[in-house]
Amino acid sequence: MRKFGKILQFIEELSKKRATKPTLLLKLSAILIGLAVLILLAQLWNSSQPIKSISISGTSFLSPAEVKGAIEDASIINVPKNKIKYEDLASKLRGNPYIAETYMHEGIHSLNIEVKERNPVALLANNYGELQYVDKDGQLLPYRVFHSVVDMPIITGVYDGEKLDSAKMLSSISIINEIRTARFSFLYNFISEVHCNLKLKSFELFTSDSGTKILLGNTDNLQAKLSNIYDFFQYKIGNIKDKKVKYIDARWAEQIITKYDNI
């Protein structure tokens, strides 16, 4: 419809100009009007065509079948596109907490639903061992089993009794988001737990191989601390793999200290 309006506007502007060749102008106007009519008819025909197939794209944690299942009660197949309420369709899909946004792409007889997921980056455990997922923005997501294996660190210690300390949870997520960057990606699979000590207002990391404790302190100078930890495990792990490490102290930006059981 916008294209049709622009063509009519162009014709009107032409008619206001002094025409030195009125016959040529008349022919051009007729061609443009005919083209506008064809475009309008094509748009009307396309919008009246029924949807015969639905495809899902953009999923990684969710399965396409699960996304389709959220709209199985909606009348789409064999319904003309101009009769489908896309806002209602999108609202049904966003009822799944793992779906952040949806984009609808029409073909002549097809509909592709592109999904943008909320991807969990960590597990969150309360004091009773109950689990939830958390995405990179700190959005809590219900625990569930995914069709693919998901390996991610767990956040503990951010509950004071039954109350979640949201600030400490977000600080834990900021640590995880930092180790997920390309610079520290090695640490994301190497760290199995981010623990918050509410009394000391500090954080501890635990390695996935041996459960070695890493004292991180607060989140000040976080990049410098993680850089020290990264370098330590990348270049010195061969020197300590046969020794029993009690803990690694990485609370300072300028140094890292290793405490062994026999020292």
**Residue 206, SS3?**
strand
* 206 pLDDT more than 90: yes
Q: Are residues 40 and 128 in the same domain?
A: no
Counted domains in the chain: 3
Pairing of strands 213-217, 202-207: antiparallel
Q: Are residues 126 and 255 in the same domain?
A: yes
Q: Which of 223, 234, 263 is nearest to 250 (CA)?
A: 223
Q: Which of 128, 138, 194 is nearest to 161 (CA)?
A: 128
* 12 pLDDT more than 80: no
Q: Are residues 202 and 132 in the same domain?
A: yes
Q: Are residues 110 and 134 in the same domain?
A: no
Q: What is the band of 186 on the pLDDT scale with cuts at 50, 70, 90?
A: confident
Q: What is the pTM of this model?
A: 0.76
Residue environment code for 125-142, b if the CB has 16+ CB neighbours within 10 A, otherwise e: beeeeeebbbbeebeebe
Q: Are residues 166 and 98 in the same domain?
A: no
> Which range among 25-34, 65-74, 126-135, 209-218 shows the weakest confidence by mean pLDDT?
25-34
pLDDT, averaged across the chain: 84
Q: Which residue has the higher pLDDT, 139 or 149?
A: 139
Q: Are residues 147 and 224 in the same domain?
A: yes
Residue with tokens 């592709």: 112
Q: Are residues 26 and 139 in the same domain?
A: no
Q: What is the band of 71 on the pLDDT scale with cuts at 50, 70, 90?
A: confident
> Which range among 9-13, 207-211, 246-250 shows the weakest confidence by mean pLDDT?
9-13
Q: What is the domain range of residue 183? A: 120-260
Q: Are residues 37 and 61 in the same domain?
A: no
* Residues sharing a CB contact under 8 Å with residue 104, sequence separation 6 or more, in sequence order: 86, 89, 90, 111, 112, 113, 114
